[in-house]
Amino acid sequence: MQGIEKYSVTLQNYLDEVITVKEPIQLYEPIKYIVSLGGKRLRPVLTLLSCDMFNSDYKNALPAALALELFHNFSLIHDDIMDEAPLRRGKETVHQKWDLNTGILSGDAMLILAYQLFEEYEHIMFRDLAKLFSKTALQVCEGQQYDVDFETRNDVTIPDYIKMIDYKTAVLLGASMKMGAIVANASEECKTNSYDFGRNLGIAFQLQDDYLDAFGNPKTFGKQIGGDIIANKKTFLYIKALQNSSEKDKVVLEKLFSEKPEDPTNKIKTVLEIYNASGATKETLKEISAYTQKANKVLNKLDISEKNREVLLNFGEKLMKRNV
Amino acid sequence: MQGIEKYSVTLQNYLDEVITVKEPIQLYEPIKYIVSLGGKRLRPVLTLLSCDMFNSDYKNALPAALALELFHNFSLIHDDIMDEAPLRRGKETVHQKWDLNTGILSGDAMLILAYQLFEEYEHIMFRDLAKLFSKTALQVCEGQQYDVDFETRNDVTIPDYIKMIDYKTAVLLGASMKMGAIVANASEECKTNSYDFGRNLGIAFQLQDDYLDAFGNPKTFGKQIGGDIIANKKTFLYIKALQNSSEKDKVVLEKLFSEKPEDPTNKIKTVLEIYNASGATKETLKEISAYTQKANKVLNKLDISEKNREVLLNFGEKLMKRNV
């Protein structure tokens, strides 16, 4: 892990240097606040790692890496408003600590600041990075919209769901990998493969997130266990359970997902039982493993040293074995 | 005006072609809706006009022009949320017609779509346009933040106010002019001068807007007359009136601007009387004229034909004599 830590430490130093609080304070303070809450720094680490793999100084990828972290945090600020979430990483969300307007405006500024970071690169690289960024950012918005739409839809299929998490989460991990390859001037094939690796890993990552939300260890997960069940979120687990349950359980599940009881303890308990009984839990774990394997298969096609392949393989495995 | 109309018609056709409603509908429908509400199309018309002036086919500037119009509409959607405005151009605002989340997310997508339009240009031009766009967009966010800050500040000076409207409104008109010059491959000097022309015109334009908000013809202005007074907005008129009023009027003005009466008729009447008596009205008109002259002075430095200079001069004059 020494290698990986090196990236997050360098990113943190660069972030501290670049993201400063200036006038108007009310605009820039929330930006500094949200990026200082930490998090896994998954996206920028992937970018630096990828750049390093393709034999370029990973520090060259710092602006692109930070752009992705800023974008991710921008989307967190705006998503937290939409979800009316009071907490993020155990601390107050921006709209909660300040107000709605601050959340909207600081988020907007962050998105623009992300684009500005690409100006550190010469014009062809700038164009390649900004183009990939825009395409990805728009997909993330579309993914968020699908997620919102699913709340009121009762006909969400497994492919619908996979597309939603692909757009909302996975494409950004794909772009994180690919940006490292772009900065390293890697071949087109390497760019495509690194993108596919990140994207498949991203789907596995999000399915894992859904799984942990239901079955994670409350001591290590950080978020409330059963949060998706409380919010009636149609996750992979839910859709699979609906498909595979007995008629009786199906009725129970649908009824529970139309309610928001004050005390959700019994609701969570029953839903988890149905997830297990229907085989949905097993199928989710199988799906996580399938996407991880897909990612590893692309990994084998990457034109990198065996040592580096090992690093990426371990990185993916650690991510899948995480409990946070 | 035939020349100017040509630009808005061509822009409209291009907009109809490019901005379409696709999946997810809920994300793209509000975008189509807000851009279809019309408006003066001031920013894109300036871009096309500027490109034309510098002897390039103005149609080459269509993507940049539309990017500016999208950005402007993005900022309207988010500003309307912040101002809790129910109406925009006589129709429901996006967050009113749909909801808060739709307003936030569709706005975000519009900002990204604006950036994507620059991809129509080769990489050096792409970089120049995107860089100017980011710088300007960030200033617009800062201007909006200053505007919000002013609501709770009692020490706003005239320079503070001019800086706020410069950032919130004028720099975007400067960028609109400059983008036309960039697309036309005009000289650096022309780019700078066209930017300065638009920016000075923009300050005059916003001061005019403040003036019309207080003294415009309710039949033609489109917005509610006295809207700024009702909202206790510290405009140029208000700050000047505070500076120049008798102690007695100053106390009255400050008291009125701390209240929001159900029926604002008397409040508006008294405030307008103080604006007139203090000379603030006259000083505002003088300031509008000063910035218009500043713009025209830069206009004389522009390396364009006399016929084109005439067109720009007339354009500025029409804008200043407008009553909408």
Copy the structure tokens of residue B270: 């008294």
B138 and A123 within 8 Å at the Cβ level: the answer is: no
The answer to whether the beta carbons of residues B104 and A104 sit under 8 Å apart is yes
pLDDT of residue A320: 83
| CA-angle at A37, arms to A30 and A163, nearest 5° | 95
Contacts of B144 in chain A (CB under 8 A): 105
What is the spatial distance between Cα A183 and Cα B82, in angstroms, rounded to a whole number? 39
What is the spatial distance between Cα B20 and Cα B168, in angstroms, rounded to a whole number? 28
The answer to whether the beta carbons of residues B240 and B284 sit under 8 Å apart is yes
Q: What is the mean pLDDT of chain B?
A: 94
How close is the nearest chain A Cα to the Cα of B141, in Å? Answer: 6
Amino acid identity at A276 = N
pLDDT in tens, B274-301: 999 999 999 999 999 999 999 999 999 9
Query: From the list B115, B127, B135, which residue is nearest A126 (CB)?
Result: B127
**What is the average per-residue pLDDT within B269-277?**
97
Residue A152: phi, psi to the nearest 5? -110, 10
More confident residue, A154 or A163: A163
Instruction: Give the burial string for B85-104 (b: 16+ CB within 10 Å, else e).
Output: beebeeebbbbbbbebbbbb
A127 and B131 within 8 Å at the Cβ level: the answer is: no
Residue B90's pLDDT band (cuts 50, 70, 90):
confident
How close is the nearest chain B Cα to the Cα of A222, in Å? Answer: 26
What is the spatial distance between Cα B244 and Cα B250, in angstroms, rounded to a whole number? 8
What is the spatial distance between Cα B151 and Cα A303, in angstroms, rounded to a whole number? 58
B26 and A113 within 8 Å at the Cβ level: the answer is: no
Copy the structure tokens of residue A118: 């690409």
pLDDT at B41 over 50: yes
pLDDT in tens, A211-231: 999 999 877 766 778 999 999
| Percent of chain B residues topping a pLDDT of 90 | 87
pLDDT of residue B222: 65
B112 and A138 within 8 Å at the Cβ level: the answer is: yes
What is the spatial distance between Cα B239 and Cα B161, in angstroms, rounded to a whole number? 9
pLDDT in tens, B190-230: 999 999 999 999 999 999 999 999 999 877 776 778 999 99
Amino acid identity at B187 = S
**What is the average per-residue pLDDT within A244-260?**
95
The answer to whether the beta carbons of residues A157 and A38 sit under 8 Å apart is no
pLDDT in tens, A80-128: 999 898 999 889 999 999 999 999 999 999 999 999 999 999 999 999 9
Copy the structure tokens of residue A45: 């680490």
CA atoms within 13 A on the CB side of A294: 16
Helix (H/G/I), strand (E/B), else coil: B207: helix
| CA-angle at A67, arms to A66 and A69, nearest 5° | 60
pLDDT at A258 over 80: yes
**What is the average per-residue pLDDT within B308-321?**
88
Query: From the list A81, A123, A134, which residue is nearest B104 (CB)?
Result: A81
pLDDT at A2 over 70: no
**Residue with token string 């009702």:** B230
pLDDT of residue B1: 44
CA atoms within 13 A on the CB side of A122: 5
What does the DSSP 8-state code read for residue B232?
T
pLDDT in tens, B144-154: 999 999 988 98
CA atoms within 13 A on the CB side of B214: 29
The answer to whether the beta carbons of residues B291 and B199 sit under 8 Å apart is no
Long-range contacts of A76-80 (CB under 8 A, 24+ apart): A76/A34, A77/A30, A77/A34, A77/A103, A77/A106, A77/A107, A77/A110, A78/A103, A78/A104, A78/A107, A78/B104, A78/B105, A78/B108, A79/A144
How close is the nearest chain B Cα to the Cα of A119, in Å? Answer: 7
Q: What is the mean pLDDT of chain A?
A: 94
Query: Nearest chain A Cα to B167, which residue?
Result: A24
pLDDT in tens, B94-126: 999 999 999 999 999 999 999 999 999 999 999
Handedness of CA B72, A103, B238, B271 (dihedral sign): positive
A112 and B104 within 8 Å at the Cβ level: the answer is: no
ipTM: 0.96
What is the spatial distance between Cα B230 and Cα B259, in angstroms, rounded to a whole number? 9
pLDDT of residue A210: 94
Residue B22's pLDDT band (cuts 50, 70, 90):
very high
How close is the nearest chain A Cα to the Cα of B3, in Å? Answer: 34
How many angstroms separate the first and last alpha carbons of chain A?
17
- Angle subtended by helix axes A236-244 and A158-165, to nearest 10: 170
**What is the average per-residue pLDDT within B266-275?**
97
- Beta-carbon neighbour count of residue B159 at 10 Å? 8
pLDDT at B321 over 90: no
Q: Is A26 on the interface with B (CB under 8 A)?
A: yes
DSSP characters over B139-178: HHHHHHHHHHHHHT-S---HHHHHHHHIIIIIHHHHHHHH
pLDDT at B72 over 90: yes
pLDDT at B261 over 50: yes
Helix (H/G/I), strand (E/B), else coil: A92: strand
Residue A91: phi, psi to the nearest 5? -115, 165
Residue partners of B120: CB distance under 8 A and separation at least 6: B63
pLDDT at A314 over 60: yes
Q: Which of residues 115-174 of B touch A (CB under 8 A)?
A: 115-116, 119, 123-124, 126-127, 130-131, 134-135, 137-138, 141-142, 144-146, 148-149
Contacts of B131 in chain A (CB under 8 A): 119
Amino acid identity at B120 = E
pLDDT of residue A1: 44
Q: Which of residues 85-114 of A touch B (CB under 8 A)?
A: 100-101, 104-105, 107-109, 111-113
Is the pTM for the entire model greater than 0.90? yes
